[in-house]
Structure 1
Amino acid sequence: MIEVLIVLIVASLATSILGVFLVLRNQAMTTDAISHTILLGIVLAFFITQDIRSPLLIIGAALVGVLTVYLIQLINQTDLIKNDASIGIVFTALFALAVILISRYADHVHLDIDVVIAGEVLFAPLNRIEVFGFSIPRALWQLGILLIVNVAFVALFYKELKVSSFDPKFAYVIGFSTTLIYYMLMTLVSITAVAAFDAVGAILVINFFVAPVLTAYLIVKRLDHMIYLTALFAVLNSTLGYLIGYNLDLSMSGATASVAFIIFTIVFLFKPDGYIVLKIKKRRQRKEFMHAMILMLMNEDEHETVTPGEISRHFSLTEPETKKQLETLEVEGYVTRADDRYRLTVRGEEFTHYSRIKYGLKAH
């Protein structure tokens, strides 16, 4: 079973390192298209070779992956439809064609559509290969080579990838071939996708390309730090997914994808400038603004003292909302109450002066 974990980790590392540049280029969903349309390349190559393990299947898948990218770019260049729409039309057309060909002409071959889509990494160790006298899973051998190739590609073309991802126009001006770099990247994405595709299925391939990167993107903004943190999350997602799937007898692919989503959600919600912190900050700002408006109303000459009813009518607040605001202001020492009327304290006047400066308002 340890081989299953190793396959998961190597697959996640090989895919996520390329996923960094897909996310930075706003092309994360292109991975979804490629991970499905490469099935057409596999099917067409199988029709030629009649061998489910032929290396030509990877070549065919890679060519269809590049074709997918080319068609998406071609449609985008017309400016007639948006990028997500062009991805949707190309992806569904090519994938549907692959499904039709499998169901019509290759139903006797081990190209089961359900396994292809959902994947089952537990089967990866069953398909083995002899390497230097050692028997290892074929998927591990293929993905291991691709991990080395992808790391080498990023290391050798780091500067070009960085510039073309953040500022393609500047890259073009200084002489970088953005088109060449782009298609080199997409070719590797296609080859990596088909290798991972066979081991873990299309759904987890998409997750591996995108989820670790998006989680890292929420935390750091420097590219080198993002790559390192992406690798860390890729290993963490795979390890936890494996442990949960193994101990609870669940799908490894499903467990790994679920873990990736949970970790992303935790970071999204609870990081220092995450969703919850921002919501609390905005709520505090709204509360502070309402306090300032009430105090400024009371600071006007004609409203030296006010009743809750006057405040409710002026700001269209309900009676409970007005009561809550005034109670808070009284507790914080900004107002005092005499019978049913409220008056500013010295502290309230100072806060009003500060608020006028902060919000750029003038006294009446």
Structure 2
Amino acid sequence: MTNDIWIIATAALVAASCALVGVFLILRRQALIGDAISHSVLLGIVLAYLITDSRALPIMLGGAVIIGLLTAWLSDSLHRVGKLQSDASIGIIFTLFFAIGVILISLYAGQIDLDQECVLYGEIAFVPFDTIYIGNLAAESGFDIGPRAFWGIGIVFTIVLSSIIISFNRLKTIAFHPSLALSLGINVIFWHYFLMTLVSMTTVASFDAVGAILVVALLVIPASSAYLVARSLKAMLWMAVGYSQLAVLIGYALAFWLDSSISASIAVSAGLLLFVTIAWQQVQSQRRQRQPIDSL
């Protein structure tokens, strides 16, 4: 039971963090850049480990943020200078960076405690076994404070939530009225890369727990579901988090019932919730269209 609680709590924090930053990606029509960063930061993780020989969270975050920002900048530069379409530019850069990361893992597999399959698919069921122990383990004078992944994503979630609360008005203006933001003197470029930083941090903190595929799903699907029903940015943020938490609970129950991958089940549950929302929207739309006729 304790392991189940840690798994669900870790997945819930991952889902909430991804949903919050995913809202702004959806509103700015940059969902693909989230996919790009979630794959390209593998290169940052590998380079950070090779340079420092450490898997400490601050070092991993530093490497991921640098490569994430580089991905966004190169994609934008390739779009402007090379006159390529935006989605093509993003696809070129993130596949290039991800492939280089996989090659480095293959070349230094004996030195790097990373597995490309683990990064892609993740296995959150192993989260409770990698814990942080404070004190003297030999003397049994310390205590276990819980999984490392839980505390890592907990720190990132706190940073993401605090950043959105503090910068809410500016992020709102940039998301809905970028031209107005420029006329008001808001540095749109700075806030663009600020958002990319949050995406990079969320992605790398989620790698060990759930893998890149579920990160992409949680960045896009809950926010898209909330977009269909919300009437304000605040409501969309709340609904996106709600959809993400519901996906975690349903996905974990589904994985337990089918004895399947927890991460994949959560992603499938998020997709099913999106389809249910679309179906509900269609029913409501048809009901509104028939209402005048019924009233006659």
Structure 2 length-normalised TM: 0.89
The aligned residue for residue 336 of structure 1 is none
Q: Contact (CA 8 Å) 2:49, 2:112: kept in 1 or not?
A: no
Please report how far the alpha carbon of residue 107 of structure 1 lies from its aligned counterpart in structure 2 after TM superposition.
4.5
Please report how far the alpha carbon of residue 281 of structure 1 lies from its aligned counterpart in structure 2 after TM superposition.
6.5
| Structure 1 residues 1-55: Cα deviation after superposition (integer angstroms, max 9, x where no partner) | 2110111001100111011001101001111110110000011111112223463
Structure 1 length-normalised TM: 0.73
Residue 245 of structure 2 aligns with an amino acid whose one-letter code is V
The aligned residue for residue 27 of structure 2 is 24
| Structure 1 residues 233-287: Cα deviation after superposition (integer angstroms, max 9, x where no partner) | 0110011111111222110001000000111011112225678x49x969xxxxx
The aligned residue for residue 203 of structure 1 is 213
Residue 271 of structure 2 aligns with an amino acid whose one-letter code is F
- 1:39 aligned onto 2:39: no
The aligned residue for residue 348 of structure 1 is none
Residue 2 of structure 1 aligns with an amino acid whose one-letter code is I
Q: 1:186 to 1:274 in 2, by over 3 A?
A: farther
The aligned residue for residue 138 of structure 2 is none
Q: Contact (CA 8 Å) 2:57, 2:152: kept in 1 or not?
A: no
C-alpha distance in 2 between matches for 1:62 and 1:34? 9
C-alpha distance in 2 between matches for 1:274 and 1:100? 50
1:270 corresponds to which of 275, 280, 289: 280
The aligned residue for residue 17 of structure 2 is 14
Q: Contact (CA 8 Å) 2:131, 2:144: kept in 1 or not?
A: no
The aligned residue for residue 193 of structure 1 is 203
Provide structure 2 residue ranges, at least 5 long, that are not aligned to the other structure: 136-142, 291-296
3-state SS of 2:83 partner: coil
- 1:84 aligned onto 2:78: no
2:148 corresponds to which of 112, 132, 138: 138
C-alpha distance in 2 between matches for 1:221 and 1:268? 16
Residue 240 of structure 2 aligns with an amino acid whose one-letter code is T
Please report how far the alpha carbon of residue 131 of structure 1 lies from its aligned counterpart in structure 2 after TM superposition.
6.4
| Structure 1 residues 68-98: Cα deviation after superposition (integer angstroms, max 9, x where no partner) | 1111111222371111101110011100111
Q: Contact (CA 8 Å) 1:267, 1:274: kept in 2 or not?
A: no
1:309-328 matches, cutoff 5 A: none
The aligned residue for residue 129 of structure 2 is 126
- 1:110 aligned onto 2:113: yes
1:109-258 matches, cutoff 5 A: 109-130=112-133, 133-258=143-268
Provide structure 1 residue ranges, at least 5 long, that are not aligned to the other structure: 283-364
Residue 247 of structure 2 aligns with an amino acid whose one-letter code is N
3-state SS of 1:147 partner: helix
The aligned residue for residue 77 of structure 2 is 74
3-state SS of 1:32 partner: helix
C-alpha distance in 1 between matches for 2:284 and 2:32? 24
Please report how far the alpha carbon of residue 106 of structure 1 lies from its aligned counterpart in structure 2 after TM superposition.
2.5
Identity %, equivalent residues: 36
Residue 244 of structure 1 aligns with an amino acid whose one-letter code is L
C-alpha distance in 1 between matches for 2:104 and 2:144? 37
Structure number with greater CO (CA < 8 Å, separation at least 6) is 2
C-alpha distance in 2 between matches for 1:79 and 1:219? 38
The aligned residue for residue 50 of structure 1 is 53
Q: 1:167 to 1:273 in 2, by over 3 A?
A: farther
The aligned residue for residue 67 of structure 2 is 64
